[in-house]
Amino acid sequence: MIKTGIFGTHEGQKIVQATLTSAAGVEIDVFNYGAAIRDWRVPVSEGLRSVVLGFNTFEPYVRHGAYFGAIVGRVANRIGGAKFLLGGQEFPLAANEGNNILHGGVQGLHHQVWNLATNDGDNSVSFTHTSAHLAMGFPGTIKFEILYRLVGSRLEIKLSGIPDCPTPISLAQHNYFNLGQKNTVLAKTVPAKTILDHKLCIAAPHYAPVDADLIPTGDIRPVENSRFDFQEPKTLRNTEGQAWDYDINYVLDAKRSASDPVAQVIGPDAELYLKLYSDRPGVQLYNGAHIATKSIGLTGQKYGAYSGLCLEDQMLPAALNNPHFPSIICTPDNPYHHWCEIEIGQQE
């Protein structure tokens, strides 16, 4: 049975948490602020290990701007100049990163209190939210739904949005993963401070270069012979052992099989693995270079630079201003549908 409880309040609304548990012993806490994943615990030799960044109280989620575990949008990633053209009309948006808009703006989906419903028979939790016309400047009213379903070691995520007129939609799930966060109470060891020694593999032969503001230039380049090549597993350090900074979108092979993971991670102690499956054309890699929190995290430490790794499957960023990228314009007859699965388990 799915457990639910009150996690806090926000602007007079109750923040409700639901806990999914699988036969494999995996436990995932989700809550209705941002339709977010708060904690994800996986069985390992010393007990249960948290594999995402999060907090034990609600207030840090409002105070910190790092989108911990949330659904981001209406349009994930950055839109240069915080504006776009649609049907000959320019739509100015609410900039929240210099002159640009990031992850839907300050009052994006990550900052909304969603409706929550549980389904014990399906071991799933669904979240719904109606985004009003011109929210953060985006046209159209959209009915969003997010479904989390846990089976064994796999979490299936289905994201949908039904607009009442043509409008851009591109969502992403913004987990920060760290597979080496040994709990100080259970393991009596110091938690892993960074993800730099995780081994990462991304099944992408190309990436989308960005300018100084991290806005894609419109080019698509091969990863071969560059620091962006993760076609074979490697850590996130350079040849001198120092950290590389990554906040870049990978362009996946359009002919790939849905049964093949688009990204894989092995934890620093080689005990846990992660596999990401997705129907999206791109994956944003962010290695948490700018994380900085004052609140205590799930494993008893303050999160700093490189504490977590994001793999955000999504449409290609800046598609609105690069018509040769796959379109993100959705309509009542062509609504938004997005599927991904994340599997985290013990290495055999």
pLDDT score at 141: 98
| Distance in angstroms (rounded) separating the CA atoms of residues 148 and 127 | 9
pLDDT score at 210: 96
DSSP structural state of residue 225: T
- Per the CB < 8 A criterion, the answer to whether 108 and 136 are in contact is yes
pLDDT score at 184: 53
| Distance in angstroms (rounded) separating the CA atoms of residues 62 and 47 | 30
Tokens describing residue 285: 């890699």
Handedness of CA 259, 147, 132, 93 (dihedral sign): negative
pLDDT score at 183: 62
pTM for the whole structure: 0.95
pLDDT score at 72: 98
Tokens describing residue 19: 């806990």
What's the gap between Cα 125 and its chain centre? 17
Q: 346, exposed or middle or buried, with CB in 10 Å at 0-12, 13-18, 19+?
A: middle
Among 207, 275, 3, CA closest to 125: 3
- Per the CB < 8 A criterion, the answer to whether 76 and 103 are in contact is yes
Based on its alpha-carbon atoms, the radius of gyration of the chain, rounded to whole angstroms, reads 19
- What is the mean pLDDT of each successive set of 10 residues along the chain, which is 348 residues long? 96 97 98 98 92 95 92 97 96 96 97 98 98 98 98 98 98 97 55 84 97 95 96 93 94 92 96 97 96 88 93 97 96 98 94
The catalytic residue among 145, 312, 341, 343 is 312
- Mark whether 312 is an active-site residue: yes
The catalytic residue among 103, 110, 174, 338 is 174
Extended beta strands in 272-328, E state: 272-278, 282-286, 310-314
**Terminal CA-CA length for the chain:** 29
Q: How far is the CA of 181 from the CAs of 101, 133, 195, in angstroms?
A: 32, 41, 9
Half-sphere exposure of 285 (CA within 13 A, CB side): 27
- Per the CB < 8 A criterion, the answer to whether 90 and 82 are in contact is no
pLDDT score at 182: 74
136: helix, strand or coil = helix
pLDDT score at 103: 97
| Distance in angstroms (rounded) separating the CA atoms of residues 19 and 38 | 10
Q: Which CATH number fits domain 3-346: 2.70.98.10, 1.10.760.10, 3.10.580.10, 3.90.580.10?
A: 2.70.98.10
- Per the CB < 8 A criterion, the answer to whether 84 and 35 are in contact is no
Helices (H), 141-245: 184-187
pLDDT score at 188: 46
Half-sphere exposure of 344 (CA within 13 A, CB side): 27
pLDDT score at 45: 87
